[in-house]
Each structure stands twice: as C-alpha cells, then as structure tokens.
Amino acid sequence: MRTAELINLAYFFLFTIAALVWRLPLRRKWKALFIGVTGLALNGTALAAHRWMGAFAADIFRDWVPASLIPLAYWQSGCFFQKPNPRLQAVFDRSEQTILKLLHMDLARYRSTWIGTFLELAYVLCYPVVPLGIGALYLAGFRQAADDYWTVVLLSAYPCYALLPFMPLLPPRLVEGTDQSVTSSRHLRRFNLWLVRRVTHEANTFPSGHVAASAAIAMVLLRFTPLAGIVFVLISLGIAAGCIVGRYHYIVDVGAAFLLAALAFWINLQGR
C-alpha cells in the first residue's frame, strides 16, 4: 500500500465513523456517509487495480485516483459545517483587521485595479492546480514520484478539512459582504463566485486548503523538476494573494497553509 493510499483510507474511515456518531441533520449525515463510502470504494479499487488490469495500467490508475478523492474529502468535511462559531469568528475578524492595519493595506483599493483582475484569474487556478501538478510531474519524467507528490499534498490539504468541524467559520467575504464590491474584473469575480457557490461548501477552512495544496505541489515539483516548480510557486503565490484580496480567506488561513505545507514536505522527506 502506498503512503497516500493509507492516508486516504484513514481519512475516509475516520470521517465516515464520525458521520455515524456526530449530531447532524439527516440529509447531511447521509451525504457524509455516501461520500465516505464512495471514497473508501475508490481507494479500495485503486489498491486492487493490479488484479483486473495490467501492472502498468494499474500503476497509472493509482497515480491519478487521489485527484478525485481530494474533492470528496473536502465535501465530506463540509457536511459537518452547520453554523459558524460566533466567538471564534470574532477572533478571526479582529486578527484580520489588526494585521491589515499593521501592514497599512487597503484591499478594496487593490480590487478596483488590474491587480484585482489578475488575482481573480489566479484564484481560478486553485481548482485545476492539483491535476496540473501531477501532470507536470509526468511530463518531466518523474512518474515514479507520484506517491511522494500525493503524500505531501494530502498531508497538507486533509488537516485543513479535518479541522472544519471543530473550527466552523465563514470566509471574510460573507462576513464583510464584499461579494458585490466594485472590482475591475466584474466578470471574473462573478465567475469565481458562481464556482464558489456551486463547487464549495462556502465554509472557511483553517488553514486554507487551496493554498496548502498549491504550496505543497510547488515544493514537490521544486524538488524533482525545478523549472516546473518555479512556475507552480508563482501559481501558489497568486492563489494565496487572490484568497486574501478577494476575501475568500483570512490572512492567517493563508500563512498557516504555507507552514502546514512546509511541515508536510519535511515529514515526507524524513520518511523516505
């Protein structure tokens, strides 16, 4: 069993058990259970792939299955979000205002310029960045490093999702009501908000799962293929800045995500 497959097995098993015992509305409980069983089935299918397909095809299949499991893990944790914790939300709001004052940053000013347009475009990349990363690893001739890739990405993203039931928060855009704020990229903003409302659970993950995953991808690619790694470093920084300026995440979410990704990368290095 690959390390990434063990991580997926542990995550979906624990969250499926949690769905059985957690007090949830019936519809959310059944949704969490269905997602968990689906995740376990997909992971099990990958583990048994060599029994019903050739060795090479089975390896390719196992390399790519985690790309479909990450969104399932995200949606399953979202089933546990019911309402924000008012005290915790106030702590995050106060910390955000304090940091912005210390940095003398007026985010509304950035949103009304070309910078806002660029960062909204960068934020869109948070959705395809994970399969793009494994694709870059393939193109560089490092398919054998797929388990390293997924191990670091999963160890970066899954803790963000796992904390959501214990740290229920709304993103700053919903707290501040900035969804309709004037930007220089109205169409991009509307597109991003359309995606957020239909693809995400609209809760705030601490640390930011998008930033943690993109940073993890950049670190792994820097190790194996530095040129691609540099490109993904820029993508990761763009996603991080887009999260903050677009008010999709708090600054502390982004900072914690980079630290988590660095820790996951270090843990993987120690285990190899």
pTM: 0.93
Q: Which of 206, 209, 195 is nearest to 239 (CA)?
A: 209
pLDDT at 98: 95
Say whether both 2 and 129 belong to one domain: no
Tokens for 65? 């299955």
User: Please, what sign has the CA dihedral across residues 241, 168, 161, 78?
Assistant: negative
- Predicted pLDDT at 215: 98
Tens of pLDDT, residues 151-174: 999 999 999 999 999 999 999 999
The answer to whether residues 252 and 211 belong to one domain is yes
pLDDT per position in the chain (272 positions), as tens? 999 999 999 999 999 999 999 999 999 999 999 999 999 999 999 999 998 888 899 999 999 999 999 999 999 999 999 999 999 999 999 999 999 999 888 887 777 777 888 899 999 999 999 999 999 999 999 999 999 999 999 999 999 999 999 999 999 999 988 776 655 567 788 888 898 999 999 999 999 999 999 999 999 999 999 999 999 999 999 999 999 999 999 999 999 999 999 999 999 999 76
The domain boundary, picked from 80, 115, 150, lies at 80
Do 113 and 182 lie in one domain? The reply is yes
| Residues 106 and 67 placed together within one structural domain of the fold | no
Q: Do 139 and 263 lie in a common domain?
A: yes
Number of domains forming the structure of the chain: 2
Tell me which residue range forms the domain holding 55.
Answer: 1-80
Q: Rounded distance, CA 235 to CA 152, Å? A: 17
What is the rounded radius of gyration, in angstroms, for the C-alpha atoms of the chain? 19
Judge if 112 and 185 occupy the same domain.
yes
Give the tokens for residue 261. 């990704």
| Same domain? 250 vs 182 | yes
What's the confidence (pLDDT) of residue 117?
84
Where would I find the H helices in the chain? 3-21, 26-47, 55-78, 86-103, 107-111, 114-124, 129-139, 146-162, 172-176, 186-199, 209-224, 226-245, 251-271
Residue 124 shares a structural domain with residue 240: yes
Q: Which residue among 80, 103, 133 closes a domain?
A: 80
Instruction: Tell me: do 139 and 240 sit in the same domain.
Output: yes
Q: Which of 80, 96, 122 is the last residue before a domain boundary?
A: 80
